[in-house]
Chain A
């Protein structure tokens, strides 16, 4: 996974303040964010973060406001200069790159969708979508054709000649999405793209991202502070607090095995039955042939979807792993525990 990862991040730090570089490696760098700020006025934005993102993966970063999500995503393309650490994108080291090479990477390999859309108010939709292409010097007709394709892709056909302020928030963000896709980048970064939208539109847009991901299959780094969104979209989720990684894992693992109380609080209100898989509720079999003849379910089945089968069957249901190996059993009670706990919450 490390060799062919779309994004490889190692020991990434960002400390805001005049003498940030000198702090790395000193005992001060180990201080808590609050203590360091009180002591030297430096603010820790991101502290010693390492992770990998596989090609085609949707990698979600989440945390409360101020936890350093925006800072992290900007470090990944050096919109903010890292204080220490390295970032490899598609195998290329961004950290040592000069201005021109970096610009080339931003033009071709990675693009970003912003929280407040970041549309240029003086340009029509079509010219906003084609902006990245214009920046990298493509001709007007090529630009228009490509932009039109992207507009069709995000479902905005007919609005090409409108100005951004004539569109609703959701439509504006579709333009942002189209702009990011227009350059055909390897990696897409989203910084809380939907938090300025109302819940219904937000759900639409999440579906849209899932659809686009199916259609274009890009690697995505997705920032959010909305757990439902994270669970819905993420192949894996990184949870941050005060600039540090608290936990990385797939959604069901985050729910079932929160790394600490912070994460536990975070996930307390979630619809567990929608996320948890049988893997997290099954118990090891008493004997290799327990429940022989009962229905069999893969361990990646989500509890809610397993419920019908399990409840309809008297006694235990067998659970198998990806290789069809018998790994555990679940019964009515295991399922009900998840569902009832949720209703109590």
Chain B
């Protein structure tokens, strides 16, 4: 009974802690949380004690037992596994739909609009490519050669940030050329540049609108939710339909992926301007426009710049993934390497992507810090700074001139370093993996045989109706009606789309990866929260992990574990764990010092402190971490489809590149979305009321792919 009351207090106290704003809001929030709590009890139609989460596991176990018994008798039948490249009716229908859209390219207004936009982007990308990346006929080289581009970039690095950033830029650009990936690198930067520009043009006004108008926010917020919960890959398919394969789709996909964080953060920045500041303005008689211009935007500026950094990193991540739809850039050679499981080929461009990520991250961060210093009248004396800039400009002009005139300055001389390095690394990787193979294959087999295979057999080899009923029943006992309803809708949708068997395989993988992710998150997160030194050591690694585009993770994981389902799981884990670990660490750290002192004073041991105080009080953070973990794992499951994880991911990947598989890919994509919603809803309801509005924020720092 004590544990019961302690638990039901949890979320309420949490929501107190989450609303440190004005006491007025705090009161409302508190009341809201309480109401929700009561309602949940009623929804389950259970006696008060059943509100305790623990006993809910008993009926869940019972259901699993029943499921198991029926499974023994029926396994292997009605699994709806598709043979080979079979397609179901709905997939043909999707293909037909695609064909009719394509036929209507010149008449259908939507298609015409998207065609015009696509032409615009394609033209812009091509123009920039001729400028810096590919030969601009009749010249055998681009308009501006590598020397010019490199020096200009270095000069910009100095102008917006400082000399350290300038050196970083210089090093990165030189390595693009030295390793023989100059054009691909330039292409990547072109796509990222255009996308970030479009993101800013669209995102900042939208963010300001969402931040100032409740009504606009009510429209924008759900759209952003949808875009951000959808695994990235899934939107590539419809985008390809409307914008065609190539650079236009790459830009559109990147914008759709990278704009939401900027919109969110901008809106958040506007909204978190303290109400007193607005009151000050009002008391002086300012108009709405003045309020926006003189108070809200200036005060939100720093936050918006943080958003810009996030957006840039997200854009880089998506721009590499866009190589799946033939988007130009460094993603292409990585993808080519992955396709043939040649780690050596994929490694160098992968590392260049990482270098680009570091460069962009550092440069945007340093630029915003410098803007702050300058705004406050700090930094070098203006005259000195201007002098250096001017000198730099002269050098830059000289380099530009040279790079148009001299062949050596226009095209990087191929010393064959890149190729040689690729061979060397390939060798090194081969021998390293061979050396580690007893360990890696031990882990791989252990997890595969102990968890993955049995779980997959159980879920995917059940007849579809059994799995359907089992999942729905679990949703009900874990989360009540409010989990059951969406669960049934999602399951029915998945059944109708015809990718049931693959969905069940992906589900099994996702569950295993999420459980592993949470285990890691709890162990590492608690350690970080309890010891500052651990936090100091680990947080930079997590930050770095979140800066690296998701796609790149696949390369080392593939090297270590070879193509298999387990590789997908490890990649998903590497991708999802940083976020979950941080959430848990911050949640546990948020437990008040007084409470901890009280626990110590009453003689609780270390384990007791963790088990009885810290974890229960950080419950909402745990819920959040699980939810985020799930979504991230699922997003990665798609990308991992191409390194042997198979199932839904593979279908989507195939569908995005092969015309006749489009319908199948689209069906698989939609199935993934449904799977995501299904898991998200069940997890959320099962955990009780999740703190609203906190879902995205703590993950802000980096939201990789």
The chain A residues found within 8 Å of chain B, CB to CB, are 74, 77, 79, 102-108, 110-112, 114, 116, 118, 120-123, 131-132, 134-136, 161, 163, 179, 183
Contact = CB atoms under 8 A, between A and B. Distances in A.
A285 to B, nearest CB: 52
Given A122-B301, A135-B294, 5 more contacts: A105-B285, A111-B284, A114-B279, A118-B276, A118-B277
Contacts of A131: 284, 294
Nearest to A123: B298
Contact of B377 (A104, A110, A161): A161
Contacts of B281: 135
Majority DSSP secondary structure for residues of B touching A: helix
A79 B279 contact: yes
A121 B287 CA distance: 20
A114 B285 contact: no
B60 interface: no
A107 B375 contact: no
Contact of A122 (B276, B282, B285, B375): B375
B298 A120 contact: yes
Given A103-B287, A104-B285, A136-B285, A122 B299 contact: yes
B542 to A, nearest CB: 31
B547 to A, nearest CB: 29
Nearest to A78: B282
A102 B284 CA distance: 10
Contacts of B295: 120
Interface string B365-398: 0000000000111000000000000000000000
B283 A79 contact: yes
A271 to B, nearest CB: 33
A118 B276 CA distance: 6
B299 A79 contact: no
A163 B376 contact: yes
A136 B290 CA distance: 10
Contacts of A123: 298
Nearest to A182: B284
A106 B294 contact: no
Given A105-B285, A121-B299, A116 B276 contact: yes
Given A120-B295, A120-B298, A122-B298, A135 B377 contact: no
A183 B282 contact: no
B280 A118 contact: yes
B116 interface: no
Contacts of A79: 279, 282-283
A169 B284 CA distance: 22
A179 B286 CA distance: 14
B302 to A, nearest CB: 9
Nearest to A134: B294
Sorted from nearest, which 10 A-B pairs have the closest CB atoms? A106-B285, A107-B285, A118-B280, A132-B284, A103-B285, A112-B283, A135-B286, A122-B298, A118-B276, A135-B284
26 contacts: A74-B279, A77-B283, A79-B279, A102-B285, A103-B287, A105-B285, A106-B282, A106-B283, A107-B284, A108-B285, A112-B280, A114-B280, A118-B276, A118-B280, A120-B277, A120-B280, A121-B299, A122-B299, A131-B284, A132-B284, A134-B294, A135-B285, A135-B294, A136-B284, A136-B285, A179-B284
A121 B281 CA distance: 13
Contacts of A183: 284
Nearest to B290: A135
A134 B286 CA distance: 9
A102 B282 CA distance: 10
A320 B435 CA distance: 108
Contacts of B287: 103
A132 B282 CA distance: 10
Contacts of B375: 122
Contacts of B284: 106-107, 111, 131-132, 135-136, 179, 183
Contacts of A74: 279
A110 B285 CA distance: 10
Contacts of A163: 376
A233 B377 CA distance: 40
A123 B280 CA distance: 14
